[in-house]
């Protein structure tokens, strides 16, 4: 049996990892996991501990291709959301928003932006399309980080410290929160943070939020998920939960497995 990982957590990230290791031990005792999955989960958890910064936060350097994989894998296979604008890649989704709502300006927010690589690459791709006259709207980007602010060209970087206190300064057409402030928010406050982000969407705007599958076992069962979707529908949002295919998780173990896709209708 694997010995309990001894940590002295300084952040919610390390608490999450520690809880995950305890959960892993329980699974080992009940023999629910295969050897490969055990090795994979241990390796990822230990890597997160090594790569966390001084405050304990794990800074992810997500790139365009990483987020695009989420769109492709989930929208190709599992999402039942009858979306008006979600497409199987990010650029196509933004182009659809521009065309459908006759946008002169597209605003994108990345919650948990790391060093801003995703937004920088997205802007580069969009500006190339604009030069080719395939799109016409200007693209404005905002990066949100809990602990650090980086100087990345043409990106509005905000160090917020606590997502509870963060107030969006404008309306957005796309919000992506993968391992962002929402991901690490304690369950009692998740609703408050979620609605704050969703109400900062433009009409027709879309958002993606990642969830921790460890927490999902107890806090977000099927009945709870349905309650969340119904509550969002009453507030004018189309929404659906979805999962990365299990075989894809093996290829990219540092991507969260569970996502909430949302589109604002009104």
**Are 95 and 209 in the same domain?**
yes
In a domain, 98, yes or no: yes
**Are 120 and 234 in the same domain?**
yes
Lowest mean pLDDT among 116-130, 180-194, 214-228: 214-228
To the question of pTM greater than 0.85 for the whole model, the response is: no
Please give the pLDDT value at position 99: 94
What are 181's two structure tokens? 């402030």
Higher pLDDT, 216 or 178: 178
Percent of the chain scoring above 90 in pLDDT: 26
**Are 45 and 147 in the same domain?**
no
- Total domains in the chain come to 2
Please give the pLDDT value at position 44: 47
Ordered alpha helix ranges (H), the chain: 12-29, 35-51, 64-77, 90-100, 117-131, 187-198, 213-219, 222-234, 246-251
Please give the pLDDT value at position 154: 63
Residues ≥6 apart with Cβ < 8 Å to 249 = 255, 257
**Are 23 and 121 in the same domain?**
no
Residues ≥6 apart with Cβ < 8 Å to 250 = 36, 40
Please give the pLDDT value at position 265: 85
**Are 47 and 142 in the same domain?**
no
Find out whether 107 and 172 touch, Cβ atoms under 8 Å: yes
Under the banding of pLDDT at 50, 70 and 90, the label for residue 70 is confident
Please give the pLDDT value at position 121: 92
Under the banding of pLDDT at 50, 70 and 90, the label for residue 224 is confident
| 46 pLDDT more than 60 | no
Find out whether 189 and 164 touch, Cβ atoms under 8 Å: yes
- pLDDT digits over 72-112, tens only? 776 665 556 667 788 888 999 999 999 999 999 999 999 88
Find out whether 236 and 265 touch, Cβ atoms under 8 Å: yes
**Are 73 and 102 in the same domain?**
yes
- How far is Cα 161 from Cα 167, in angstroms, rounded to an integer? 12
Please give the pLDDT value at position 101: 93
- How far is Cα 94 from Cα 119, in angstroms, rounded to an integer? 13
The residues with which 175 forms a beta bridge, in sequence order, are 109, 207
Q: Which of 162, 221, 215, 222 shows the shortest CA–CA distance to 192?
A: 162
């Amino acid at each position: 049996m694997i010995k309990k990982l001894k940590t002295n957590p300084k952040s919610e990230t390390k608490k999450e990892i520690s809880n995950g290791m305890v959960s892993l031990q329980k699974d080992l005792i009940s023999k629910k996991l295969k050897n490969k999955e055990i090795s994979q989960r241990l390796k990822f958890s230990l890597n997160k501990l090594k790569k966390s910064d001084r405050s304990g936060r794990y800074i992810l350097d997500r790139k365009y291709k990483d987020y695009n994989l989420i769109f492709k894998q989930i929208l190709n296979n599992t999402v039942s959301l009858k979306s008006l604008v979600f497409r199987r890649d990010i650029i196509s989704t933004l182009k659809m928003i521009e065309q459908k709502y006759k946008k002169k300006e597209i605003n994108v927010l990345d919650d948990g932006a790391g060093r801003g690589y995703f937004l920088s690459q997205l802007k580069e791709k969009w500006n190339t399309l604009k030069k080719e006259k395939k799109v016409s709207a200007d693209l404005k980007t905002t990066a949100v980080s809990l602990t650090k602010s980086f100087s990345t060209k043409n990106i509005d970087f905000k160090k917020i410290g606590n997502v509870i206190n963060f107030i969006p300064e404008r309306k957005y057409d796309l919000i992506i929160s993968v391992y962002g402030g929402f991901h690490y928010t304690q369950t009692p406050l998740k609703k408050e943070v979620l609605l704050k982000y969703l109400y900062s969407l433009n009409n027709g705007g879309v958002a993606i939020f990642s969830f921790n599958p460890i927490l999902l076992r107890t806090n977000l069962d099927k009945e709870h998920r349905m309650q969340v979707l119904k509550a969002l529908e009453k507030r004018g949002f189309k929404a659906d939960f979805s999962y990365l295919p299990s075989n894809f998780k093996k290829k990219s173990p540092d991507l969260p497995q569970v996502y909430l896709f949302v589109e604002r209708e009104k």
